[in-house]
Chain A
Amino acid sequence: MGTWTWFHKLSSPPHCYRIAGQLIPWFAIPAALLIVAGIYGGLVRAPADYQQGDAFRIIYVHAPAAWLSLMCYTVMAVAAAVGLVWRIKLAHALAAATAPIGASFALLCLATGSIWGKPMWGTWWTWDARLTSQLILLFLYLGYQALRSAYDDIGKADRASAVLAIVGVVNVPIIHFSVNWWNSLHQGSTVLRRGGPAMPASMLVPLILCFFGFTFLYAALACVRVRAEVLRRERNAHWLQDLAGRRGRTESAT
C-alpha cells in the first residue's frame, strides 16, 4: 500500500515537479564523478590496445553514447505506451523529455564511430546493418521531435508522437543484435558477450564507469527536462502560484 500511494503521489504534477527537483543533485553529482573518473581512466590509465593503439580510446565516449541512445529510446517508447494506455500525462512528459537527450547521444555515437572507422576500418561510413540501423534510430528521434512540434496542442502532440515512438521500438533489438544476426563490418559486443567481456580490467573498469556516468547524467537531465514538460502542461494550475512565490511563500517547491 505504501508504494502505491507514493506512486500515486508521484504521478501528481506538483509532487513530481518537487521530487524531480530534489533528485537532480543525487544524479548529477555521481554522474560528474563517474564520467571524470572514467574518462581519466580511459585516456590516461588504460593501456593502448595491441591492434588499435591509442585510437581504441574513442570507445570510452562511443560505447556509452551508443548505450544511452538505445536506453533513451526504450525509456521513451515505454513511457509513451504507458501514457497512451493509462492516459498518464507525466508518462508523456517523460517521453518528451527523453527524446532530445537520446537524439544527441545517437548523433554522438554515429560521429565518434565515424571518426574511429576512418583509421581503423578504412572508411568514414558504410551501409552495414549496424551503422544503418543506428542512423535510422537518429532519424526516428528527429521524426519524433518534428511530429511533436507540428502540433500546437500538447495533448495531441503527446498521443501522435507516442505512436511513432512505439512503432520505432522494433529498431532497438535490431541495432543491438544486427552484428550477430548478419555479417557486418562492425564488431560484436565487447562487454555484453557470451563468455564474459573480451577486455582486461585495466581497460574495462573505466568503460564501466563511463557507462554508469552517462546513465546517471541521463537521469539528471531527464529530471530537469521533466520539470520543464510538467510546467508546460500545467500552465494555469493553482499549485504553480506557490512556485511563483506568491502569498509570501519563498521558493519551497524548487
Chain B
Amino acid sequence: MTPRRKRLWTLIAVLAGLGLTALFVSKAFEKNLNYFYPPSEVASGKAPSGTPIRVGGMVSKGSVVRAQGSLEVQFVITDFAKDVTVKYTGLLPDLFREGQGIIAHGELKDGIFMADEVLAKHDEKYMPPEIAKTLKRQPDGTPADGSAPAGAVTR
C-alpha cells in the first residue's frame, strides 16, 4: 500500500466513523433536537408533563377567542389528529392567524396549555396575494393542487 493510498483509506475511515458518531449522537438527543411536540404526542403522553415544553400545530379555523380589553387570547391548535387548547397573554407575531402553523412554549395544566411564548411557524410556500385569493375561492378551502392547507405542520 502506498502512503497516499494509506492516507486516503484513513480519511475514508475517519469520515465513516464521524458519520456514525453523528448518527448515534443525534439518535440519543432526538428529544432535544425536536423543537416541539405535535398535539398527538401530547395527547398520547409522549410529551413530558410537569415541565415546560413546546407544542406546535395549526391554529384551528374559528377557534381564536380574544378577551376584551386585554391581550389574553385562547385558541386550539391541531395536527389534524388531535387538538390542544392554548391560553396565552401577550403580543402575537405578525404571521399568527387562523390556518397558520404556530409553536407555543409553556406547560399543560388541567388539559389546557398555558403558553408564555407563541411563535409563528411559516411554511416553505410563497405566493403573491392575488394567487392566494384565487386559491381561497376553491369551495373546500384547500389549494388547487390538493396538498395540505398552507401552514399545516407536517413531519
Report if A and B touch in the complex (beta carbons < 8 A).
yes
Residues of A within 8 A of B118 (CB): 122
A238 CB-CB contact with B under 8 Å: no
A23 CB-CB contact with B under 8 Å: no
- Chain B: minimal CB distance from A19 (Å): 25
A202 nearest in chain B by CB position: B128
Whether A198 lies near B125 (C-beta < 8 A) is: yes
Interface residue ranges, A against B (CB under 8 Å)? 47-52, 55-56, 59, 81, 84-87, 119-123, 126, 128-129, 166-167, 169-170, 174, 178, 181-185, 187-190, 193, 195, 198-200, 202-203
Cα distance A228–B36 when bound, in Å? 47
Interface residue ranges, B against A (CB under 8 Å)? 4, 7-8, 11, 14-15, 18-19, 22, 26, 30, 33-38, 56, 91-96, 100, 103, 117-133, 147, 150, 153, 155
Q: Could you pull out 5 A-B pairs where Cβ atoms are within 8 angstroms?
A: A49-B128, A86-B4, A119-B94, A121-B119, A182-B33
With A47-B129, A48-B129, A120-B93 known, 16 other A-B pairs at CB within 8 A are A49-B128, A50-B133, A51-B95, A52-B122, A119-B93, A120-B122, A129-B35, A170-B19, A178-B33, A181-B26, A185-B121, A187-B122, A190-B125, A195-B147, A198-B123, A199-B125
A51 nearest in chain B by CB position: B95
Contact A50 B36, CB 8 Å, known A120-B93, A121-B95, A193-B124? no
Whether B124 lies near A183 (C-beta < 8 A) is: no
The contact of B126 among A56, A170, A174, A183, by CB within 8 Å, is A56
The contact of B94 among A120, A123, A187, A203, by CB within 8 Å, is A120
The contact of A190 among B91, B121, B124, by CB within 8 Å, is B124
- Chain B: minimal CB distance from A186 (Å): 9
Cα distance A49–B127 when bound, in Å? 5
A129 nearest in chain B by CB position: B33
A168 nearest in chain B by CB position: B18
Residues of B within 8 A of A120 (CB): 93-95, 120, 122
- Chain B: minimal CB distance from A108 (Å): 20
Whether B119 lies near A185 (C-beta < 8 A) is: yes
Cα distance A166–B19 when bound, in Å? 11
The contact of B22 among A84, A122, A174, A182, by CB within 8 Å, is A174
Cα distance A52–B30 when bound, in Å? 31
Across the A-B interface, give the 5 residue pairs with the lowest CB-CB distance, nearest first.
A122-B93, A50-B132, A47-B128, A128-B35, A198-B125
Residues of A within 8 A of B128 (CB): 47-50, 200, 202-203
Residues of A within 8 A of B127 (CB): 49-50, 199-200, 203
The contact of B8 among A51, A85, A122, by CB within 8 Å, is A85
Residues of B within 8 A of A85 (CB): 4, 7-8, 11
- Chain B: minimal CB distance from A188 (Å): 4
Whether A49 lies near B4 (C-beta < 8 A) is: no
Residues of B within 8 A of A178 (CB): 33
The contact of B120 among A121, A170, A189, A202, by CB within 8 Å, is A121
Contact A84 B11, CB 8 Å, known A121-B120, A128-B35? yes
Residues of B within 8 A of A55 (CB): 94
